[in-house]
Amino acid sequence: MHWLMPALTIAALALGAAPLQADPRADFTALVADFDAHEQARDPITAGRDGDLEALGQWPDGSPGAVEQRLEQERAFRDRLRAIDRDDLEASDQVSHRVLAYLLDSRLMLGRFQSQRIPFTNDSGFFSTPIRMATSTRPRSVAEAQAWIQRLNAIPDYLQGHLAWMEQGVATGFVQPESIVREVIDQVRAIAEAEPEHSELLAPMTRLPASLADDERHRLEQAALDAVAGRALPAYRQLLSFLEQDYLATPRQSLGIVKVPNGEAYYQALVHYHTTLQISPEEIHQRGLSEVKRIRAEMDAVIETTGFEGSFEAFLDYLRTDPRFYADTPEQLLMDASRIAKLADDAMPAFFRKLPRLPYGVRPVPDSMAPHYTTARYWPGNLEAGEAGGYMVNTYALDQRPLYELPALTLHEAVPGHHHQIALAQELEDVPEFRRRASITAFVEGWGLYAEFLGKDMGIYRTPYEHFGRLTYEMWRACRLVVDTGLHWYGWSREEAEACFLENSALAPHNIRTEVSRYIAWPGQALAYKSGELLIRALRQEAEATLGDRFDLRAFHDRLLDEGAMPLSAVEAKMRAWIREQNDTNESS
């Protein structure tokens, strides 16, 4: 009698009776399926890596029309999500509900500010995406090689979509400062003015399958060269001209984002987005000052163990200038990074039971990006696409890449840091796809900074100088809290921002300049590291104090990572529940 149900429902509603209730679990399952499809459609780079051959020939559509359409879809997703009570769901779906709520709320919050008007930072952005993809793309068939050629031919439309946003930014005064734009111009010029046959965009053509016939290989190589010469490079030259002539026509001199229209509200939104916390810029600034003071005391204690006689400033000068702390060649820097990476690999089973299947490699940052790029970064891989994770080491300006910082850097970017956490997330089972790919800065970077701290337990730091290097990196992240809020909330100058690093850490001057440029160009992101790391360390201390000799560090780490990235409030609730469970289990046994 199913045909009677609609009439019965209408009659019941007419009489004022409560409507029939939908199944929240079914509603959530449907919502997740729709959102995952939405994510796949908006990100052809990921879809291509997952085997979608059509997507493999496309770039993400960043044009204003496409962005507004996506935001409308995400508003509808958020409305559907808010209609589902999280407590009515199974435990795993409750986590998915929390993560999805954070993702949707964040996108819609930032969408109100049209943050797409600034689509680049000092060292990367839409303009460098094709270079990054060229570095990691390895065609395994003629069809995949042709898809890369299709991407090369599509570069003009891809760049134009972002250029349209920048034109709006220029018209509304929502732009990067002049100093940042000039750094980006150098990078765009390196791409635009390269000889076509030497363009980094041709890198995938050097990795064609060895089994290809010579005539087929030549045909593909020529088609790629034609696309670079006739389509891609002219589009980059047009972008270069726009940046030099239009974007800088009325340059922004102020460094703080609060000086752009509606800047104060925008910065507060960025603080919440990157930390996932309800916290004010003033509170973060004070937290940073407190951490700087604590770490500085630990640094002084390490200096004592070296026998160095002289002031703190003299010790920093010694570290920055003595040649023994620096590699002589790019190959030496890469080999040292590789050696430390293998030491960390060797120690991993003692600290984790669950290890990812995906390996990682140690690679140099591409030449066109290196001068303004950070010291290192992790580039995620994809097992199905045959791409290992990449610990990308910057070999530019070797006299600015001190070896005593390399252990902490390696632990952060490779294992047990980004590679371990991100590769594990990619391998999660029985969770929505968006959970495998969620990049929640406070969790991801908080874990990376905690991984540096964990290196003490792993025995990676073998000299006082390497211990000082770790503290320098921790000081670096503490100063970020002070500097990011200083620049964007209190109106600091570049000199004031650089002083925190110069006076309290052994970071090389070039790195400091590059890093401060990054904080100017990417407001709020630098606040995530310490926010996440402080919580993880506090949770570990709480677990150790509660469980005593029953505390299992491997179990703690595995539980922390076993559901992927999530907002810090969810991490805190999850790990406190785990501590209670462990305590109850131990007491009853």
At residue 361, what are phi and psi to the nearest 5 degrees?
A: -120, 165
pLDDT digits (tens, 9 = 90+) for 232-274: 999 999 999 999 999 999 899 999 999 999 999 999 999 999 9
Q: Is the confidence at residue 587, as pLDDT, over 80?
A: no
Q: In what order do the strands lie in the sheet with 389-393?
A: 360-364, 389-393, 376-379
Question: For residues 382 and 48, is the Cβ–Cβ distance under 8 A?
Answer: no
Tell me the C-alpha distance between 25 and 140, whole Å.
41
Beta bridge partners of 382: 387
Residue (of 227, 54, 248) closest to 130 by Cα position:
227
Residue (of 120, 49, 37) closest to 74 by Cα position:
37
Q: Cis before residue 209, ω within 30 degrees of 0? A: no
pLDDT band at 588 (very low <50, low <70, confident <90, very high): low
Query: For 55-69, 257-271, 362-376, which range has the lowest pLDDT when averaged over its residues?
Result: 362-376
Residue (of 475, 508, 513, 511) closest to 497 by Cα position:
513
Q: What residues contact 262, with CB distance under 8 A and at least 6 apart?
A: 113
Q: What residues contact 82, with CB distance under 8 A and at least 6 apart?
A: none
Tell me the C-alpha distance between 318 and 307, whole Å.
13
Q: Is the confidence at residue 208, as pLDDT, over 80?
A: yes
What is the crossing angle of helices 330-347 and 441-458, to 10°? 80
Q: What residues contact 36, with CB distance under 8 A and at least 6 apart?
A: 432, 433, 434
Strands 389-393 and 360-364: parallel
Q: What is the pLDDT of residue 66?
A: 97
Average confidence (pLDDT) over 403-413: 98
Question: For residues 549 and 513, is the Cβ–Cβ distance under 8 A?
Answer: no
According to the 3-state scheme, what is the secondary structure of 231-259? HHHHHHHHHHHHHHHHHCCCCECCCCHHH
Residue (of 154, 144, 155, 156) closest to 56 by Cα position:
144
Q: Is the confidence at residue 49, as pLDDT, over 90?
A: no
Q: What is the pLDDT of residue 550?
A: 95
Q: Is the confidence at residue 320, as pLDDT, over 90?
A: yes
pLDDT band at 384 (very low <50, low <70, confident <90, very high): confident
Q: Read off the tokens for 270.
A: 């960025």
Q: Is the confidence at residue 17, as pLDDT, over 80?
A: no
Residue (of 524, 556, 581) closest to 118 by Cα position:
524
Average confidence (pLDDT) over 301-307: 97
pTM: predicted TM-score of the whole model, two decimal places: 0.88
Longest dimension (CA), the chain: 92
Strands 376-379 and 360-364: unpaired
Q: Read off the tokens for 396.
A: 């530019």
Q: C-alpha 517: how far from its chain's center?
A: 17
**Residue 538 CB coordination number (10 Å):** 12
Q: What is the pLDDT of residue 12?
A: 36
Q: C-alpha 241: how far from its chain's center?
A: 29
Q: What is the pLDDT of residue 368?
A: 82
Which run of H or E residues covers position 158?
Answer: helix 142-172
pLDDT band at 589 (very low <50, low <70, confident <90, very high): low
Tell me the C-alpha distance between 209 and 514, whole Å.
38
Q: What is the pLDDT of residue 386?
A: 87
pLDDT digits (tens, 9 = 90+) for 175-184: 999 999 999 9
DSSP 229: I
Q: Is the confidence at residue 319, as pLDDT, over 70?
A: yes
pLDDT digits (tens, 9 = 90+) for 507-531: 888 889 999 999 999 999 999 999 9
- Burial of 19 from C-beta contacts in 10 A (0-12 / 13-18 / 19+): exposed
DSSP 120: B
Tell me the C-alpha distance between 215 and 211, whole Å.
12
Tell me the C-alpha distance between 541 and 522, whole Å.
32
Residue type, 203: A
Q: Is the confidence at residue 154, as pLDDT, over 90?
A: yes
DSSP 322: -
Question: For residues 482 and 291, is the Cβ–Cβ distance under 8 A?
Answer: no
Q: What is the pLDDT of residue 492?
A: 98
Tell me the C-alpha distance between 330 and 309, whole Å.
32
Q: Is the confidence at residue 22, as pLDDT, over 90?
A: no
Average confidence (pLDDT) over 570-578: 97
Question: For residues 209 and 138, is the Cβ–Cβ distance under 8 A?
Answer: no
Long-range contacts from 261-267, C-beta under 8 angstroms, 24+ separation: 261/172, 261/173, 261/174, 262/113, 265/113, 266/113, 266/115, 267/488, 267/489, 267/523, 267/524
Average confidence (pLDDT) over 408-427: 98
Q: Is the confidence at residue 1, as pLDDT, over 50?
A: no
DSSP 387: B
